Copies of this chain bind each other. A is one copy, B any other.
Amino acid sequence: MKKSATWIWYPGDFEIWLGNRCNNRRTERGAMFPPFWKQDSHYVTVEFRKTVVLEEDECIIIKTEGQFNFSIDGKLNYPHAEQHIPKGKHTLSVKVWNQATPPALFVEGNTVKTDASWLVTYEDKIWIDENGVAHGCGIYMNAGAWNFNSSDVPPSQFQLPRKELLPVSIESIDDKEKQLYGTLYDFGQEVFGYLKVFNLEGGNIRIYYGESREEALDPEHCETLDVLEPSNIQRRTNTSTNTWHYELDSKAFRYVFIEPTPGHTQYDGVAVDYEYAPFDESRSGSFRCSDELLNKIWQVSAYTLDLTTREFFIDGIKRDRWTWSGDAIQSYLMNYYLRFDTECVKRTIRQLRGKDPVTSHVNTIMDYTFYWFKSVLDYYDYTGDMDFVREMYPRMKTLMEYCRGRLNDEGMAEGMPDDWIFVDWVDFPMHKRGVLCFEQILLTKALETMATCATLLRDHPLDNPPQGSITPDEYESDMLAYGVLSRQLLTKWKTAFWSEEKHAYLHAIENGETNPQITKFPNMFAILYGYATPTELKTIQEHVMDNGNIEKITTPYMRFYELETLCMCGEQKKVLEEMKSYWGGMLHEGATTFWEKYNPKEHGKEHLTMYGRPYGKSLCHAWGASPLYLLGKYFLGVRPVKPGYEEYEVRPVLGGLEWMSGEVPTPFGKIQISVYDDKVSVYSEGGRGVLVLGDQRYEIKSGERLEILKSKD
Binding site for B on A (CB under 8 A): 17, 20-21, 24, 28-45, 67-71, 76-79, 95, 97, 99-101, 122-133, 135-138, 356-357, 359-360, 364, 398, 417-418, 420, 425-426, 597, 610-613, 616
Contacts and interface: CB of A to CB of B under 8 A. Distances in A.
Contacts of A43: 38-39
17 contacts: A31-B76, A31-B77, A33-B76, A34-B69, A34-B97, A36-B124, A39-B44, A40-B44, A41-B42, A41-B99, A123-B360, A130-B610, A132-B612, A135-B420, A136-B418, A137-B418, A138-B418
A132 B611 contact: yes
A364 B125 contact: yes
A44 B20 contact: yes
Nearest to A364: B125
A465 to B, nearest CB: 16
A130 B611 contact: yes
What is the interface of chain A mostly: helix, strand, loop, or mixed?
loop
B136 A36 contact: yes
A415 to B, nearest CB: 11
Contacts of A76: 28-29, 31, 33
Ranked nearest first, the 9 interchain pairs of A and B with the lowest CB-CB distance are A132-B612, A100-B100, A41-B41, A31-B76, A130-B425, A38-B123, A356-B357, A31-B69, A132-B611
A104 to B, nearest CB: 15
Contacts of A125: 36-37, 360, 364, 418, 420
Contact of A39 (B28, B45, B124): B45
A127 to B, nearest CB: 5
A45 B137 CA distance: 33
A73 to B, nearest CB: 14
B137 A417 contact: yes
Contacts of A612: 131-133
Nearest to A101: B99
A424 to B, nearest CB: 9
Contacts of A127: 36, 364, 420
B31 A45 contact: no
A399 B462 CA distance: 33
Assembly of this chain: how many copies?
A: 2
Contact of A44 (B29, B41, B130, B610): B41
Nearest to A356: B357
Contacts of A95: 32, 34
A78 B31 contact: yes
Contacts of A136: 36, 364, 418, 420
A58 B35 CA distance: 29
Nearest to A135: B420
Contact of A611 (B17, B35, B37, B131): B131
A20 B418 contact: no
A602 B183 CA distance: 88
Contact of A70 (B31, B100, B133, B364): B31
A398 B24 CA distance: 30
A20 B132 CA distance: 25
A24 B69 contact: no
A519 to B, nearest CB: 16
Nearest to A225: B78
A521 to B, nearest CB: 16
A425 B133 CA distance: 13
A334 to B, nearest CB: 23
Contacts of A137: 417-418
Contacts of A613: 132
Given A357-B357, A418-B136, A38 B122 contact: yes
A357 B101 CA distance: 21
A122 B17 CA distance: 16
Contacts of A17: 99
A132 B78 contact: no
A70 B101 CA distance: 26
Nearest to A398: B357
A65 to B, nearest CB: 13
Contacts of A420: 125, 127, 135-136
A29 B77 CA distance: 8
Contacts of A122: 38-39
A356 B100 CA distance: 20
Nearest to A41: B41
A123 B359 contact: yes
Contacts of A32: 67-69, 79, 95, 97
Contacts of A28: 76
Contacts of A21: 99
Given A36-B125, A45-B34, A99 B97 contact: no
Contacts of A135: 420
A364 B597 CA distance: 52
Contacts of A33: 69, 76
Contacts of A41: 41-42, 44, 99
Given A29-B76, A38-B123, A99 B20 contact: yes
Nearest to A128: B611
A100 B98 CA distance: 9
The residue in A33, A78, A130, A137 that gathers the most chain B C-beta atoms within 10 A of its C-beta is A130
B132 A31 contact: no
A523 B260 CA distance: 83
A279 to B, nearest CB: 29
A137 B101 CA distance: 30
Contacts of A68: 32
Nearest to A23: B45
Given A20-B99, A29-B78, A45-B35, A616 B132 contact: yes
B69 A123 contact: no
A127 B426 CA distance: 16
Contacts of A39: 43-45, 97, 122
The residue in A30, A125, A128, A425 that gathers the most chain B C-beta atoms within 10 A of its C-beta is A125
A551 to B, nearest CB: 14
Given A38-B43, A130-B425, A357-B357, 16 more contacts: A24-B67, A28-B76, A30-B79, A33-B69, A34-B95, A34-B97, A36-B123, A39-B97, A41-B42, A41-B44, A41-B99, A99-B101, A127-B364, A127-B420, A132-B613, A136-B418
The residue in A33, A37, A137 that gathers the most chain B C-beta atoms within 10 A of its C-beta is A37
Contacts of A356: 356-357
